[in-house]
Amino acid sequence: MITITKRAAEEIGLSTQNPDAQGLNIRFAVDKTDEGFQYLMGFDERSGNDIHLESNGIEYVLAYSQKELLEGMVVDFDEIDTESGYGFIFMNPNDPNYEPPKESEAPEKS
């Protein structure tokens, strides 16, 4: 469903050490805007209408209503244009603005 790369899984794993995240799963969501998709992620409780899955040792949830929007997405963690220099990258073939990474830039899924 969603692939979390090893590097992204390591970053999420570090966040799970926060006492506020104990007993919660990472939730992925998307808001459709005029410009494309805006991605949301954070720790949340699992509800009855959620899909509960795992990728690279990270349990995650998403609302069943978002399944078609998020199916096939890859979440990576790498250098980006921000002040900190690193962040999560959402590569979603369902996003109208999605451009596949060039072969040399493709994330490692294992």
Domains by residue range for the chain, with CATH:
3-86 (2.60.300.12)
Predicted local confidence at residue 7, as pLDDT: 96
Predicted local confidence at residue 52, as pLDDT: 96
Predicted local confidence at residue 107, as pLDDT: 61
Provide the H-helix boundaries in the chain.
6-15, 67-70
- What is the distance between the terminal CA atoms of the chain, rounded to a whole angstrom? 15
Predicted local confidence at residue 36, as pLDDT: 87
- What is the spatial distance between Cα 10 and Cα 75, in angstroms, rounded to a whole number? 12
Q: Which residues of the chain are modeled with pLDDT < 50?
A: none
Predicted local confidence at residue 104, as pLDDT: 56
Predicted local confidence at residue 105, as pLDDT: 56
User: Which position has the token pair 């794993």?
Assistant: 13
Predicted local confidence at residue 39, as pLDDT: 96
Whether the CA torsion 73, 15, 17, 64 is positive or negative: it is negative
Predicted local confidence at residue 101, as pLDDT: 76
Predicted local confidence at residue 8, as pLDDT: 97
